[in-house]
Structure formats: structure tokens, C-alpha cells
Amino acid sequence: MNKALFLDRDGVINIDHGHVYKIEEFAFIEGIFELTKRYQNLGYKIIIITNQAGIAKGYYQREDFLTLMDWMINEFTQKGIHIDDYYFEESLEENHYRRKPNPGMFLEAINKHQIDPTESIMIGDKMSDLIAAHKANVKHLYFLKGRYEEKRVDFNYQTIYHLNEIK
């Protein structure tokens, strides 16, 4: 079984300005390259799990998102970091099984990549990120404090203010 470092995109990999889809508006969060490189070296698969409601809202097209993701992944590659996979859901439907806080994207990744969720990590900046990971039995959960507020949940997670706090 493999272990994974699951990452939300907006607010964890890049600064969340709200519906980021243009390369010129994309700014990496300090420490993301060091964090992913460290976990890659520890044998973790690096997998991105992101809601992209801006597509359904008509703010941008699926092609815009895919173009940005190709560019972003290339930026990681140039630094010697392999992004193993990414999953996105554009639906606005709150009960959609893939849309966080539902675990569908995590379960797909766990199945495809033979991941042991109890040995895996999720970093998110919204409680819906952690709820979805928790529902998929991901054990190590980190809430990156920033734009969104914490909400009371019935499971354990750790609050961090910078990515370099994760050891």
C-alpha cells in the first residue's frame, strides 16, 4: 500500500483570490515546494483534490482550469517534484458524491493509487477539505488557517498557520 500527501489547491498550493484560473494571477504559497519535495522524498504520492465550482458558475471554462493545472504541474516538475495525480469536481450540487465535503475524489484516488488512508495526510484551508478526507479515513488532517474560519467538527485535526509547521 502507498501513502499520500493530499492537497487542496486554492488556499494550500496557491493564494486563494477566489476562482483562480489565470496563470498571471496564480501565486504559490510559501513553503509548498519544500513541503511536497520533503514528502515525495519520504515516499508519499502527491495528489491534489480540488473543488472547482467556478466552472459550473461560468467564471471560467474547464479548458482554462486544465491549462492552469498543466502549467502548475510543470512548475513542480521543474523543481524535481512529481505530482502523481489530481482530481477536481466542478459541480455546485452539495450532495454530489465527489464534491467536498463528500469523499468521492479521495476514494477514487485511494482506489486508483492503492493508498492506505491511515498512513496519509490531507492539508486543506476549508473544513470541507478535512471533512471529506476524514470520511475517506485519511488519518492525519491539517487545517491551514487563512481566509476561512474553523468550524466545530467531531474529529481531530491540527491547525497550522504555515506549511513549514508540518513535520
**Catalytic sites, residue numbers:** 8, 10
* Residue 83 to residue 79: CA distance in whole angstroms: 11
Residue 151's nearest CA partner among 115, 101, 102, 112 is: 101
Q: Which DSSP state fits 156?
A: -
Number of helices followed by number of strands (H, E) in the chain = 5, 6
Cα-based torsion angle of the residue sequence 81, 87, 91, 97 in order, rounded to the nearest 10 degrees: -140
Question: Rounded CA gap, 99 and 43, in Å?
Answer: 27
> Around Cβ 151, how many Cβ atoms within 10 Å?
11
Residue 122, CB half-sphere, CA atoms under 13 Å: how many? Answer: 34
Question: Which residues pair with residue 14 across a beta bridge?
Answer: 10, 28
